[in-house]
Structure formats: structure tokens, C-alpha cells
Amino acid sequence: MYCDGVIDPRDIPWGTLRARALVASTHAYAPYSRVHVGAAALTDDGTVIEGANIENASYGLTLCAECSLVSDLARVGGGTLVAVAIVAADGAPLSPCGRCRQLLFEHGGAGLLVDDGPERPARPLATLLPDAFGPDDVATRS
Ligand code: THU
């Protein structure tokens, strides 16, 4: 069980997350861009979830891998994202797009650790999406 938002990145099974993300990328539906993306995340109860990008002939309707991932989070019963790895088919980390940073923030918060490959330390989402607007803002500003 992970709690209090205090997670040592060394406790995250990054190798498993990267491997599961790579497998997920093989299930991508990406006939237009041919960029096959997979994502895998660890939740606060230790569950690993996955997602892959799903494109559409109406290009703007494309679902990124992270979008599939948060759908999978709901499917398995919810929870908070603790760590996420996102890769393309070459296995290298793929930097989440702006929209997906916001999607991830909703379900993981500022402390969500985002993989940057084995050579570099994982980055908290706050460094990728500083000063984010999130659920607390809705609660306090309505
Ligand atoms: N893509 C993702 O799945 N996640 C991102 O964070 C960036 C982009 C996908 C969307 C599209 O299917 C393909 O990569 C090329 O943009």
C-alpha cells in the first residue's frame, strides 16, 4: 500500500511498468500516425493498469494511451495513480502530451511519478504540469 503521497521512486517496479507499457503498445490502434503508444501505471493499492492509443478516421477524436489508461483505472475500481510509464513501440519513454498531463493530474496529482527511462530519474507530474488546475480548484472556486 502506498500512502501519504510519499513514495520513494526506488520502490516503484519501473521495469515491470515499462514492460507492460510496451506490451500495451502492441494493442494500439494507430493506422494513421503509426505511432503505437502504450502506458502502464501503478495505483495506490498496487494494481497495475494499462492503456494504448486508439486513433480515429476523424483525427481529432483520437484517444491517447493515457486516456485509455484512466479508463482502465475506472474499470478496475478506481484509486490514485502513483507511477506511470509511457512508451512508443521502440520501448523508449514518450513524453505525455499536454492534454494527457491534465488527465493524469486528475487521477494522480502533483506527486505522480512519470518515467523518463532507466538512465534518468522519474519526474513528478508537477514538473511537467506546474501550477495545475485540478479538483481542489473546482471545489474551492464554485
Ligand atoms: N499519443 C499518445 O498516445 N499519448 C501522448 O501523450 C502523445 C501522443 C498518440 C496519439 C496519436 O495516436 C499518436 O500518438 C501520434 O500523435
Pocket lining: 87 vs ligand 1, CB cutoff 6 Å: no
Each of the 142 residues of the chain gets a pLDDT tens digit; together they read 454 555 677 789 999 999 999 999 999 999 999 999 999 999 999 999 999 999 999 999 999 999 999 999 999 999 999 999 999 999 999 999 999 999 999 999 999 999 999 999 999 999 999 999 999 999 999 8
Taking the C-alpha atoms of residue 22 and residue 36, their distance in angstroms, rounded to an integer, is 9
- Print the SS3 string covering 6-61: CCCHHHCCHHHHHHHHHHHHCCCECCCCCCCEEEEEEECCCCEEEEECECCCCHHH
Pocket lining: 95 vs ligand 1, CB cutoff 6 Å: no
pTM: 0.94
**122, 12 contact by CB (below 8 A):** yes
The yes-or-no answer on residue 50 being catalytic is no
Query: Collapsing DSSP states into helix, strand and coil, what is residue 124?
Result: strand
Pocket lining: 100 vs ligand 1, CB cutoff 6 Å: yes
Quote the ligand 1 centre to 104 CA distance (angstroms). 14
